[in-house]
Chain A
Amino acid sequence: MAPRLKLFLPLILFAAMALFLFRGLSLDPQALPSALIDKPLPDFTLPVLGRESMLNREGLIGEVALLNVWATWCVSCRVEHPYLLQIAQGGVPIYGINYKDDDAAATRWLAELGDPYRANIIDREGTFGLDLGVYGAPETYLVDADGVVRYRHVGVVDERVWQTILQPLYQELMQRGSKG
């Protein structure tokens, strides 16, 4: 190696490290990629809240939809709720997964705050949540018309998340569905 280049080696190393560390500053350590991305939605057969019926995987898929994991004990879910109502009003199908919750409390919540959901799956033991890889509420999954999970958002879905991430993906999936 040329002696002159050798002199610059520490500077180059420093620059490389600084680049990596600087990138690290803007990474979210809480963000955990879902193991389910681009994989089919797991199978399930669970009761529906407020109805005397069961819902399974086949009954849920068929169109691009959001799956929202929520519970009445989850404080952030209350923050998210008004925005979900707004998205649902825009015609986006949202299915709720009532995660490890009390049926009566959930029914009351929907009566008081409004119901953005097509249907609510009761996952009292959290078994479906486990198959989905849920580690806390709220979580929102974007599932395409073939029942393949395309995106998972952990945390509150608000205007920013919907406008910048979920809606563009949703529209892309809708277009792909109408073409094919």
Chain B
Amino acid sequence: MNSLRGAILFALVLLCVPAMAVIETYEFSDPELELRYRQLSLELRCPKCQNQNIADSNAPISQDLRKLLYQQLEAGASDEEILDYMVARYGEFVRYRPSFSGPTIALWLAPLLLLLAGVTVALLTLRGRRKASASLSTDDEQRLRDLLDKSERDA
């Protein structure tokens, strides 16, 4: 009985959904600003943590960056300006969606190039295989037919 209760409790613990909300809340003068705040805080990476955006992270630096983001949005800065400001201080690292220029262009093009390479290899292999199967000489074909006939007769 006790173990059953334990199992149920354990299952309930597993069901708990981690709270994704940030600790502090900001009052925005415009709901559209709040939307952009959410969008940008998901897109900006916490410099201290390896794989968290500033919306998820509770590191002090993320709190600071969220506050800064709020202040800049309220001051009327565009997304572009805010991202440039962050990149000027923390480098391309802070952007989860890196710009399409400079060294980060490789990040955008590499998947496409790899896909093209894969397709090329696949096409070449397939063509090679088709050629190999079509290149049976007439003698070989005759032999194959004889063998097949023979096996049918034996069966």
Contact = CB atoms under 8 A, between A and B. Distances in A.
Interface in B1-32: none
Nearest to A131: B89
Nearest to A135: B47
A133 B61 CA distance: 10
Interface residues of B, number: 14
A135 B93 CA distance: 12
A73 to B, nearest CB: 10
Majority DSSP secondary structure for residues of A touching B: loop
Which range contains the number of A residues in contact with the other chain? 10 to 19
Interface stretch (A28-36, A52-60, A83-91, A160-168): A28-36
B93 A136 contact: no
Interface in B33-52: 47-48, 50
A131 to B, nearest CB: 6
A100 interface: yes
B89 A132 contact: yes
A136 B88 CA distance: 17
Contacts of A35: 87-91
Interface in A29-64: 29-30, 32-36
Given A100-B60, A130-B64, A135 B90 contact: yes
A136 B61 contact: yes
Interface in B53-73: 59-61, 64, 68
Interface of B: 47-48, 50, 59-61, 64, 68, 87-91, 93
Interface of A: 29-30, 32-36, 100, 126, 130-136
